[in-house]
């Protein structure tokens, strides 16, 4: 018996029309692969998210608050070995209607407005919000552990596994002209 594999699509659209009535609570467990991530890492667990979305009717401002958790497998920036990073983050975001500007015009925001986004149309896609929050939660330097020794630049040995005995010569290039005397 041959079964067809169909991709599971789990999406939640936060509609303005529904938010006008009452705040919307969400509780999602998104299977691996539902939200596309960068090829530099791989999702290892379902992305679990919960929270609320509410509309401030007088300003059409949507506030989305919640928490997300997911495990991602990636390579260490120092030793290039794979490791798992757990992302467990709270978020509190404000979305405003997209201002009407000329195409390609820039929108200025104040320094304290880094948690403000914009929406167009009938609402927001929750998966897009979650994807963005995971990417923002990733550390700038991805390390398997804080004390990772990395790879020896001379022999290429992983210094976490074995100690190489390569001599690290620190050459001060300012003295290079004296070498030729």
Q: What is the pLDDT of residues 4-56, one digit of tens each?
A: 444 444 668 888 888 888 999 999 999 998 888 888 889 999 999 999 999 98
Between 133 and 100, the more confident residue is 133
pLDDT of res. 103: 66
Say how many C-beta atoms besides its own lie within 10 A of residue 77's C-beta: 14
Report phi then psi at 135, rounded to 5: -65, -40
Instruction: Give the mean pLDDT of 98-112.
Output: 69
**Which residue did the predictor score with more confidence, 149 or 123?**
149
Burial class (CB in 10 A: 0-12, 13-18, 19+), 3: exposed
pLDDT at 11: 65
Q: Looking at the predicted structure, is the pLDDT value of residue 87 above 50?
A: yes
Average pLDDT over residues 109-129: 80
Lowest mean pLDDT segment, chosen from 72-76, 95-99, 155-159: 95-99
């Amino acid at each position: 018996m041959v079964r067809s594999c169909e991709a599971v699509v789990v999406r939640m659209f936060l509609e303005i029309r529904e938010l006008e009535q009452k705040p919307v609570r969400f509780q999602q467990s998104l299977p691996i692969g539902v939200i596309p991530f960068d090829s530099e890492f791989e999702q290892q667990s379902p992305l679990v998210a919960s929270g609320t979305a509410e509309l401030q009717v007088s300003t059409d401002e949507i506030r989305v608050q919640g928490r997300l958790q997911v495990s991602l497998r990636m390579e260490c920036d120092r030793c290039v070995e794979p490791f798992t990073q757990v992302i467990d983050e709270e978020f509190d975001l404000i979305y405003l209607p997209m201002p009407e500007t000329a195409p390609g015009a820039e929108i200025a925001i104040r320094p304290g407005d880094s948690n403000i986004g914009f929406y167009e149309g009938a609402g927001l896609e929750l998966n897009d919000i979650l994807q963005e929050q995971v990417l923002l939660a990733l550390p700038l330097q991805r390390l398997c552990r804080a004390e990772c020794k990395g790879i020896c630049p001379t022999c290429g040995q992983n210094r976490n596994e074995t100690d190489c005995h390569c001599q690290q010569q620190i050459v001060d290039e300012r003295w290079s002209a004296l070498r030729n005397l």
